[in-house]
């Protein structure tokens, strides 16, 4: 019910001037968030928020801290485990270094590419009201999307960095894009809309932030 309530607030279109510019003129700060778990103790994690300059991709701000994780892991409900600590990290930044607030967040996870169309990137976006993009390293198998031979063939067809193909579910809805983010890695990224961004802009920005396979804000 909470996911359905919050999902009503998701905006799937560009809301900022810089998003409409082919060179992203006006974009100066790109954030990345991730939660990494201790191998010995699943109830403790490192919540990280890093802000990079754009287009130079130099680190302007970083906040990494060990946090207790209270909610259990349940497939499809990962956001309830991770988003509270990420919202706290964003709020700390807004209080301590408001001039460094990111204009967009890249989230290590999914957005609309989710069982109920409301992954971590959507959840975080709605709660912080920041543009958010989901960037996943593995395909979440929802709405008929599977890593079958056809999917692997489509992945092999991505020859150059920046090439992508749509992830169309059996419902007919495009849930995201598989993107070859750099020429040195044939493994794609799975990009989806989180909040206040269109899918086309999300893919362009993720590509622009990649020096390696994983976009620099998340990699950092």
pLDDT, averaged across the chain: 96
- Indicate the CATH number for domain 1-218: 3.30.2170.10
pLDDT band at 70 (very low <50, low <70, confident <90, very high): confident
pLDDT for residue 38: 85
pLDDT for residue 42: 84
| CB-count exposure of residue 165 (10 Å: 0-12, 13-18, 19+) | middle
pLDDT above 70 covers what percent of the chain? 100
Question: Is residue 29 over pLDDT 90?
Answer: yes
pLDDT for residue 75: 86
- Cα→Cα distances 169→85, 89, 122, Å: 31, 34, 18
Pair type for strands 132-136 and 104-108 = parallel
Encoded tokens for 25:
């003129």
pLDDT for residue 68: 92
Question: Is residue 133 over pLDDT 90?
Answer: yes
């Amino acid at each position: 019910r909470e996911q359905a309530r919050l999902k009503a607030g998701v905006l799937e279109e560009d809301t900022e001037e810089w998003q409409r510019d082919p060179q992203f003129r006006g974009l100066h700060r790109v954030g990345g968030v991730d939660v990494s778990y201790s191998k010995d103790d699943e109830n403790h994690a490192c919540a990280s928020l890093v802000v990079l300059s754009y287009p130079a991709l130099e680190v302007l701000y970083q906040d990494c801290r060990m946090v207790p994780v209270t909610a259990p892991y349940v497939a499809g409900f990962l956001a309830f485990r991770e988003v509270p600590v990420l919202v706290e990290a964003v709020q700390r930044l807004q209080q301590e270094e408001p001039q460094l607030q990111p204009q967009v967040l890249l989230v290590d996870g999914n957005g609309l590419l989710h069982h109920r169309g409301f992954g971590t990137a959507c959840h975080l976006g709605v709660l912080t009201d920041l543009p958010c993009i989901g960037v996943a390293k593995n395909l979440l198998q929802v709405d008929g999307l599977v890593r079958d031979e056809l999917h692997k063939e489509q992945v092999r067809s991505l020859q150059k960095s920046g090439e992508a193909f749509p992830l169309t579910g059996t419902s007919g809805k495009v849930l995201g894009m598989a993107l070859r983010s750099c020429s040195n890695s044939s493994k794609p990224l799975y990009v989806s809309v989180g909040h206040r961004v269109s899918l086309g802009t999300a893919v362009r920005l993720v590509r622009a932030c990649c020096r390696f396979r994983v976009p620099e804000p998340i990699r950092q």
